[in-house]
């Protein structure tokens, strides 16, 4: 691994192609990570082939239509028609994975969910690796971006790729660079966020850093793929643990009659030693609710119990139950049973102003209210109807917000605080509002609003 072989010297050819923007880039998985990444490489002057199994996604992209709200369709249409190298268009979406054989650099952006037992599901990564192996050639660069436990790249992924007889670090380059995107963040785009990169060998690291250096202001090289994988987990576990702490404080302060939002605002005035985190109805998105369990699972291999991480997971997973409990209490105070009650969930997305509903706590809320006999609807301007989901069998459409409609619900639950919502309108017409996001910033004296 440490020495540089004659074959490894061939990396200079790929390096030159990257520097000249002549390298063919393949991005596998055109979801919330892969599509924005592909777009950045097109902007940097590369010809990018985007691979996805979802034929409907590919059909939309080929028609110049975006399925992610913060990526405009006009941008996709422009990429399709932009002149790449040798007059080729900048972005080519396809379901034809045999075209991987023509790629110089292949970036894997596929899901890494948990299975029904909350254990890592690497099937998407390993199946993708098998497809790449069938089209692998010498001198290529393979990069995994999907968040996973330390060891996935240089153990699991590498093992599949080396079934070809090619050796990672000698015949092809292998690296891990975790995605760090924050959907619809107006301040930090992919280009602004430093890119952590770990290579299997120094040569792999050099090539991967050169590639990402074309689209980001700064690359952060680390000593190994395991370090890069661990860095991503630490980022997300840091957030998970702190959100769990403030969620626990919210439940305690509610009992004590203290406004947790006022407490956070006051504590935030300290110019050092405190970072504000905010409570909510649970954690959403593909990273924060899932990633801690990847490390927890891997830790068992080393006979280590991650009690702190697991406790945070328990608290955050409990939050939808707490919101439902608060709703039941509030309805009881108004002589109304939860059974048969009409509930409107405001916001199906996991965060404000996006159409991403992966692991959204709103989905759990709909399930829990339904189990208690409530009739549940939702409104989300970014999600007009529920798509096919892995764990939830929902066939719902977003209801319109009219004065008559809102006043007809026994409780309106603000689960996602979209900027487009008219909260004064909601307050005026709703009978009861369960506010999980402090969207109304109502005081405890407001009898129409319940904090949860």
pLDDT, position 1: 40
Q: Which residues 6+ apart lie within 8 Å of 191 measured at CB?
A: 40, 215, 216, 217
Query: What's the predicted TM-score (pTM) here?
Result: 0.90
CATH numeric code, 238-451: 3.40.50.720
Residue whose C-alpha is closest to residue 343's, from 319, 359, 362? 362
Catalytic residue among 105, 109, 214, 287: 287
Residue pair 139/13 in contact (Cβ under 8 Å)? The answer is: yes
Buried b (16+ CB within 10 A) or exposed e, 69-85: bbbeeeebbbbbeeebe
First-to-last alpha carbon distance for the chain, in angstroms, is 55
| Cross-strand pairs, 28 | 51, 108
Residue pair 395/378 in contact (Cβ under 8 Å)? The answer is: no
In terms of phi and psi (left: phi > 0; alpha: psi -120 to 50; beta: otherwise), the region of 159 is alpha
Annotated catalytic residue 287: yes
Cα–Cα distance for residue pair 23/26, rounded to 1 Å: 10
Residue carrying structure tokens 């626990």:
248
Cα–Cα distance for residue pair 130/126, rounded to 1 Å: 6
Tokens representing residue 355 in the block: 């159409």
Residue whose C-alpha is closest to residue 215's, from 18, 422, 419? 18
Kind of pairing between the strands at 173-176 and 195-199:
antiparallel
| Cross-strand pairs, 300 | none
Residue pair 384/300 in contact (Cβ under 8 Å)? The answer is: no
Rounded (5°) CA angle 168-16-4? 40
Q: In the CATH scheme, what architecture does the domain 8-223 have?
A: 3-Layer(aba) Sandwich (3.40)
Residue carrying structure tokens 């529920």:
386
Cα–Cα distance for residue pair 408/423, rounded to 1 Å: 17
Q: Do domains 8-223 and 238-451 have the same CATH topology?
A: yes
Domain range summary for the chain, segments of one domain joined by +: 8-223, 238-451
Tokens representing residue 296 in the block: 């927890």
pLDDT, position 12: 64
Coil, strand or helix at 421: coil
Report pLDDT digits (tens) over 125-137: 999 999 999 999 9
Positions of the chain with pLDDT under 70: 1-12, 81-89
Cα–Cα distance for residue pair 349/370, rounded to 1 Å: 19
Helix or strand run (H / E) with residue 124: helix 123-133
Residue pair 188/179 in contact (Cβ under 8 Å)? The answer is: no
């Amino acid at each position: 691994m440490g020495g540089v072989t004659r074959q490894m010297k061939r990396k200079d050819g790929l390096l030159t192609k990257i520097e000249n923007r002549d390298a063919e880039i393949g991005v596998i998985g055109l979801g919330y990570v892969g599509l924005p990444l592909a777009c950045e490489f097109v902007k940097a002057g590369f010809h990018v082939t985007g691979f996805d199994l979802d034929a409907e996604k590919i059909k939309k992209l080929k028609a110049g239509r975006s399925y992610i709200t913060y990526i405009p369709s006009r941008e996709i249409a422009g990429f399709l028609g932009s002149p790449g190298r040798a007059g080729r268009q900048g972005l080519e979406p396809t379901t034809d994975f045999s075209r991987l054989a023509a790629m110089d650099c292949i970036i894997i952006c596929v899901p890494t969910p948990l299975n029904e037992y909350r254990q890592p599901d690497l099937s998407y990564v390993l199946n993708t690796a098998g497809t790449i192996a069938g089209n692998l050639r010498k001198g290529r660069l393979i990069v995994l971006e999907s968040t996973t436990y330390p060891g996935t790249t240089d153990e699991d992924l590498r093992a599949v790729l080396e079934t070809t007889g090619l050796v990672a670090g000698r015949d092809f380059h292998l690296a891990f660079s975790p995605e760090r995107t924050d959907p619809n963040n107006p301040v930090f785009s992919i280009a602004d966020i430093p890119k952590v990169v770990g290579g299997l060998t120094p040569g792999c690291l050099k090539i991967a850093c050169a590639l990402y250096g074309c689209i980001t202001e700064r690359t952060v090289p680390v000593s190994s793929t395991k370090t890069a994988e661990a860095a991503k987990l630490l980022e997300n576990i840091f957030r998970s643990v702190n959100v769990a702490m403030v969620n626990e404080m919210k439940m305690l302060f509610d009992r004590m009659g203290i406004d947790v939002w006022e407490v956070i605002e006051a504590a935030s005035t300290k110019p050092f030693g405190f970072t504000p985190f905010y409570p909510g109805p649970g954690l959403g998105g593909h990273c924060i609710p899932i990633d801690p369990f990847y490390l927890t699972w891997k830790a068992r291999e080393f006979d280590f119990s991650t009690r702190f991480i697991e406790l945070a997971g328990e608290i955050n997973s409990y939050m939808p139950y707490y919101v439902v409990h608060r709703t039941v209490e509030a309805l009881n105070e108004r002589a109304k049973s939860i059974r048969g009650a009409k509930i409107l969930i405001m916001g199906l997305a996991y965060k404000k102003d996006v159409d991403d509903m992966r692991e959204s706590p709103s989905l759990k809320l709909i399930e829990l209210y339904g189990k208690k006999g409530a009739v549940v609807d939702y409104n989300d301007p970014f999600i007009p109807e529920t798509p096919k989901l892995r764990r939830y069998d929902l066939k719902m459409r977003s209801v319109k917000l009219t004065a008559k409609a809102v006043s007809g619900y026994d409780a309106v639950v603000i689960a996602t605080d979209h900027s487009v919502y008219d909260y004064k309108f909601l307050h005026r017409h709703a009978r009861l509002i369960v506010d999980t996001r402090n969207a109304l910033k109502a005081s405890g004296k407001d009898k129409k609003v319940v904090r949860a």
